[in-house]
Each structure stands twice: as C-alpha cells, then as structure tokens.
Amino acid sequence: MTQHHRSIWLATLVTPWAVPMGLNLLALLFGLFTKGIGALKGRDDLYLVFGYTLPATYTAMLVIGLPYVLCLRARGVLTFLPVCIGAMIAAIVVSPAYVWILFGSTSLHAEDILIYALFGLLSGIVFCLVAGITFRPSGRAKEPRAA
C-alpha cells in the first residue's frame, strides 16, 4: 500500500502524534507570551497532553481515518484535498465526543469547532506529507473509478 513510494501505514502511525505535539507547542507559546521565559520551568503537565490525546487520535485514525483513506484510494481519488477535508470533519465529530467522555462537558462553542477543524487540518496535512499524497491523483488505485 504505497502512494508515491511512501506507506499509508507509516502515515497512519505518525499522524496521530500531530495533535498532541501541536497542543504542546501552543501551550508553550502561550506560556512564553503570557509569562515569559519562566513558563518553561516545571512543565510536567505537558506530558499529560500526550496521555489524554494519543488514545483518541489513534482511535480516530484507525476507526475513521484509515478506512476513509483506503476508500479514497480504492476509488482513485486519494488526493490532498479530500484527505484534509475528511480529517477536518472527523476532528469536528470526534473531538467533542472525546471531551464529553473525558470531562462530561457538553457545551460547544463556534471557536471550539474552529480549533477542532484546524487540528483536523493539521492531521490531514501531516498524513499527506508522510504518505506522499499530492494534489493530483496518482492513478495507483486498485481499480479505476467508473466514468
């Protein structure tokens, strides 16, 4: 299963790390801009982000993302845009559900949806970069799609 000589499976393993790393980077930048260099001391809580988000991102990738990508590939339309749009939609659906499961919070604001969509877009971009998925179809589908 390759797309431009890179493995979809490798992208499936790497992509879930994009969200916790992005969250940690945002937390560090927010701390630097609000508290200065002192914000870098004693940031043990950043490890918790990985503990909370990696199970969710791997589950979403294996349950939603991978089947979606394989379906796109089988239809011969595995390109950058559908992957990123699908990742954004998946993040908008999965993230509030995961927050509700963890914290029992059901309040959802417009800015929350935007943040979820941006992290979904980040995941889609990372997946495409790792798998070598381009803007144009590669023509490597198992069967050509119907005209």
CA atoms within 13 A on the CB side of 4: 15
Q: Determine the longest span between alpha carbons in the chain, in angstroms.
A: 61
The answer for residues whose C-beta is within 8 angstroms of residue 123's C-beta and 6 or more apart is 15, 16, 18, 19, 57, 61, 65, 87, 91
6-47: per-residue pLDDT in tens?
Answer: 689 999 999 999 999 998 888 888 878 887 777 666 666 777
Closest by CA to 119, choosing from 14, 23, 9, is 23
So what's the pLDDT on residue 1? Answer: 45
So what's the pLDDT on residue 125? Answer: 97
Share of the chain above pLDDT 70, in %: 84
